[in-house]
Amino acid sequence: MAVLNPIPADSDQQMIRAPKPKQFKNAKKRRRLYGSLAVGLLSIYAILTLIPFYALAIRSTVPTKESTDLHFWIPEADDVNLDAQVGNLAVFYNLDLTDLKRDLGIPVDDFLGARVSLRDLSETYDIPEEDISDYFSGFYTYNGWRTILTDSQFVGALLRTLFITLVSLIGLTLLSIMTGYGLAGLHRRDQRIVYKIYLLQMVIPAMLVLLPQFILIQWFSKLVPGFADPGFTRAAVQLGSIVAINIKGTAFSVMVFTAFITGLPKDLEDSAMLDGASRLGYVRHILIPLLKVPTVGLIVVQLPLIYNQFLEPFVYLDPDSSTLLPYIQTTVGQFSTNFQVIYAAILSSVIPLVAVYLAFRKLFVQGVLAGAVKG
């Protein structure tokens, strides 16, 4: 202030200036207090945010019959009732009897009646009762996980999800870079019109497009020979239509790359052209390596959207070539009252993406804050 005011300080200003150090000190103290208060509030919110994740992990181990009690930790396994009949256990725990025989050392060819109790087994085959209890204690807590992970379709569904996510992200990035380069600068009218067409995507509600899009894609799919019969062609066409929907571009993807490429110095392209590069060569060798920031920005926003896509796969894919989430929804439908299985299934779909997120958390934070600037 003193620099800005060349007039020598008169008595008035001195009076104002005199108490300043104290005020300043107070303000600093107050600011520090507010600061710790804010960090405290944010920390409380962060802990509240984590609670549902924790509760989900615990609930995936809580047997359904205990679900009306509150659990803060993985429940202790109840000893299995030795009078329980094998048939009932098999239904309840989704048990494969061949595995049971092998694991307990019962000859595989022996026939186990459904009404044989565990006590009978222990007596007939001379197995200590503790061994049987131990064998079943794992089922008590981890029955949900066993059911999901040993389900024949789980791995396939997970792999299809990973495949679609990977192909869609790569395709979307490359196509959006091309679009962004073609539109860069928005010099001409045609470029601005195309840009506005993409902006429309932001205001078109997903539910409005769903039914007519389905009609259209069915119509195209039927043109492919072999689509009517279940088999590889049908699954490939269905997965392909999901990928096509994912890579068609969004307002965000086009904005990110158009803005970033527009911001690059024009000399860059000119000098590459002078050196005899074609435009495709320029994109491949010079442009793409420069686009790390917008690419990360696009991927961190699109990855959760594509991995967690439910509606389109639910509608377009057959159950036996389904991705993870529709598979889980149908599986959960079968076990509609077995909460242990439901929550284990949900958690199994959450873990892969959360793991990726935590591993690349720096990129996510950077990408979100940088990518949004351009949008």
Partner 1 sequence: MVSGSTSTRNARSMGTTKAETDDSTAGKASGLARRRIIEDWMFISPQLFLFVLLTLVPFIVAFPILFTDMSGFNDPQVSGVGFDNFTAIFDNASVRADYFPALKRTLVFVGLNYLLVYVFGLSLALLMFEFGVRKALFTVIYMPLMLSGLAVGYLAVMLFSQETGNVNLLLMDLGLISKPIDLYSSGTSRFVLPLMVGWRYAGFNMSIFLVGLLAIPTDTIEASIVDGANYWQRLTRIYFPQMWPSFIIATTMALIGAFSVFDELVAMGALYVNPEAKFLSILFFTYGFQLDRLALGMTLAVVTSVPLMAVGLVLLRLQRKVQY
Q: Binders of partner 1 among 68-127, rule CB under 8 A?
A: 68-70
Amino acid sitting at position 325: L
Among the listed ranges 10-18, 116-124, 152-160, 171-179, the one in contact with partner 1 (CB under 8 A) is 171-179
- Binders of partner 1 among 207-226, rule CB under 8 A? 207-218
- Binders of partner 1 among 25-54, rule CB under 8 A? 34-35, 38-39, 41-43, 45-46, 49-50, 52-53
- Using CB under 8 A as the binding rule, whether residue 181 contacts partner 1 is answered as yes
- Using CB under 8 A as the binding rule, whether residue 306 contacts partner 1 is answered as no
- Using CB under 8 A as the binding rule, whether residue 319 contacts partner 1 is answered as no
Whole-number Å distance between alpha carbons of 300 and 286: 23
CB 121 within 8 A of CB 132: yes
Q: How far is CA 1 from CA 11, 15, 20, 218, 299, in A?
A: 16, 15, 13, 72, 47
Pick 145 or 307: Cβ nearer partner 1: 307
> In the bound complex, what is the minimum distance in angstroms from residue 68's beta carbon to partner 1?
6
- Encoded tokens for 148: 């999901």
Among the listed ranges 128-136, 146-154, 288-296, 366-374, the one in contact with partner 1 (CB under 8 A) is 366-374
Task: List, as one string, the DSSP characters of 228-255.
Answer: SSSSHHHHHHHHHHHHHHHHS--HHHHH
CB 241 within 8 A of CB 217: yes
Single residue of 102, 105, 125, 185 touching partner 1 by CB under 8 A: 185
Pick 114 or 365: Cβ nearer partner 1: 365
Tokens 């929804």 sit on residue: 329
Pick 116 or 243: Cβ nearer partner 1: 243
Total number of residues binding partner 1 (CB under 8 A)? Answer: 99
The residues, any chain, with a CB within 8 Å of residue 309's CB and separated by 6 or more, are 164, 242, 246, 323, 325
Could you say which DSSP state residue 284 is in? I
- Using CB under 8 A as the binding rule, whether residue 182 contacts partner 1 is answered as yes
